[in-house]
Amino acid sequence: MSFSIKPELSALIADIDAIASASLPPDQAARLAPVFPAYFEEAEVADLKRFTADDVFGAALSHLEFAQQRQFGHTKVRVYNPDIERHGWQSTHTVIEIVNEDMPFLIDTLAMLLARRNVTLHLLIHPVLEVERDAAGEAVAIRRAEQHSSPLESFIHAQIDRITDPEQLAELAAELEQVLTDVEIVVHDGDAMRQQVLALADQLQTMEHEEAPESAEYLRWVADNHFLLMGFCDYDLVCDANGCDALRIVAGSGLGILRNQGDKEYSESFAQLPQTLREYAHVPRLLVLNKSQTLSTIHRAAHLDYIGIKRFDAQGKVIGERRVLGLYTASAYHASPRDIPVLRQKIRQVCAALDYVDNSYKAKTLNFVLETYPRDELFEVPADVLTPIAEGLVNLQERPRTRLFARKDHYHRYVSCLVFIPRDSFNTEVRLKIEALLLEAFNGTHAEFSVAIADLRLARVHYIVHTPAADVLDYDEALLETAIARVVRGWSEELHQHLIETRGEEDGNHLFYRYRDAFPVAYREEFDARNAVLDVQQLEALSAAQPLSVKLYRPFQRNAGRHHLKVFRFGEPVSLSESLPVLESLGVRVRDERPYRVTRADGAELWINDFGLVAPDEQRLDDEAVRIRFQELLLKV
């Protein structure tokens, strides 16, 4: 063995060597002896320990035999369920074997595909090996990647949730081949796309357009490894057969994922926009930064970033665009926006518009707000839209509270919502409730979210609510923010708010501290805080001298059309066996009963018994005079 391996792997490799010596011809066992340590060098030992040495040996041998023949430029993929009789080894999982030229993005692309299919990855082995092949693609030698005398090949062995349906296995294999082909195209065309972007930057530098110098600097920044270039294509702005604006593909201009666009003549994403939005293409704005509706299948699960550079004729009329698709790299997210072309200009405009005193508290807070603003948003949001949002965020730092900042996408395909929530109030349930509110408010089809909790007091949730094109409902941001605040406050804080609103600040605070932790979980799940305010009024009237009160009511949502009776008792609950005959003698039948013990802050123990009633004439009980007489008679009895 020409290199050292982890001590915990040594025993496993020894077992594999012994199995190979006993089951393979001597020359084959000798040839594979140095390969096994290289194959398992980076594997998780804890994962391998869950399998027998025979099956680990079988998995490696199967993969190496699968890789024995491969033509350069061809990705080999196999998805199968190994068993002893057919393959000489077995696993409870479905196995994926991949052999390909070594290149970036293979593992994260595989992980993305599995996540998209909700499939769990149970084992991953990913050695990069030197493979010497003859002209027919037959492997002459396989060895550890240290001499670099032969091309490097990526071997991926993955075990996933078991799939038995042959059609699903074939479908997964085909999808794997497609995304790996996309990876190969993107990597292969990377330099060509970079040269196109740099050439565009040089062209912009010579243009007489106010945006040209900064746009040229931005494109050079993009080409300097701040953007994963995935697609490039030229389009002409024309009228289609229906007289509508269309972007026609310039034949042969496509690179990366836009290289092979089949029989498409026009940009399909542009064609899906209403004509009113397509007319934006004529606006002589040089650079357009936006999000594509297409989800990336490579590297990172996100919507592709879109960079559009418009083309003009001699009269300054827009005649087409050059489109770049990809994803910003980690370095783009870690850099200060003040060092990024276009963003730095946008920040200068915002700072000038707000005009805070240099080095003042607000100026420093604004700098923090812009530095920590979601980077994808910062690329897209226009300066005039960002300015009031930034001002609101500065004020939010001074007085933390629930806030909403919403922005419609330029093409009305989504609404970007920054929601700030007191950190202690944030949880999954709150996040989902807010998402439901936003979907309803914006007529959304689905939503994505990201969470940042970098502040000691606030959590930030960034929702992207996707909407049908040009179908975003009009909304009142203040009312929506109020609805979100109601969700965020939670039951106790909602009780506090309603007590203050109904009883005034002094009395409301006093009652809240008495009843803040008084109601049991079962009561909170059944009744909202507004109901509790009314019940607090009843409970406050109880004492040892006046231990009982009742309230007949019709629930707003629960059991619509039927009445309920709440019996409030000081000290101990009412007896169900004594209550039933009394209620039935009054002409109603008890359908169910739920008791709730209320333990007040002063130690007093109170009870609420909630009876579901069935009356011969439900509507008669709605009469105010009848309801009052029913309650008075019940108390006397």
pLDDT tens column, 300-337: 889 999 999 999 998 889 999 999 999 999 999 999 99
For residues 475 and 491, give the distance between their C-alpha atoms in angstroms, rounded to a whole number.
26
Residue 246 sits at φ, ψ, to 5 deg, of -150, 155
Nearest residue to 417 (alpha-carbon basis) of 427, 431, 429, 428:
431
CA dihedral over 157, 158, 159, 162, signed as positive or negative: negative
DSSP 301: S
pLDDT of amino acid 282 = 85
pLDDT digits (tens, 9 = 90+) for 358-404: 999 999 999 999 999 999 999 999 999 999 999 999 999 888 999 99
Contact predicate 56/44, CB 8 Å: no
* Greater model confidence, 512 or 491: 512
Percent of all residues in the chain with a pLDDT value above 90, rounded to a whole number: 67
pLDDT of amino acid 1 = 40
For residues 156 and 125, give the distance between their C-alpha atoms in angstroms, rounded to a whole number.
6
Contact predicate 621/563, CB 8 Å: yes
Q: Which of 241-255, 256-270, 393-407, 443-457 has the lowest mean pLDDT?
A: 256-270
For residues 28 and 36, give the distance between their C-alpha atoms in angstroms, rounded to a whole number.
12
Q: Cα torsion for 66, 70, 75, 81, to the nearest 10°? A: -10
Contact predicate 77/181, CB 8 Å: no
Q: Which of 271-275, 478-482, 573-577 has the lowest mean pLDDT?
A: 271-275
pLDDT of amino acid 336 = 96
**How many residues are listed for the chain in this entry?**
637
First to last CA, the chain: 95
pLDDT of amino acid 536 = 96
Helix axes 477-503, 505-515, angle to 10 degrees: 90
Q: Which residues make beta-bridge pairs with 349? A: none
Contacts of 91 (CB under 8 A, 6+ apart): 51, 55, 59, 81, 82, 159
For residues 259 and 252, give the distance between their C-alpha atoms in angstroms, rounded to a whole number.
8
Would you give the distance in Å from CA 538 to the centre of its chain? Answer: 46
3-state secondary structure of 471: coil
pLDDT of amino acid 558 = 53
420 token code pair: 């700030």
Q: Which of 16-25, 171-180, 462-471, 567-576 has the lowest mean pLDDT?
A: 462-471
HSE at residue 526, side-chain half, CA atoms within 13 A, is: 14
Is residue 179 pLDDT above 90, yes or no? yes
Q: How many CB atoms lie within 10 A of CB 275?
A: 11
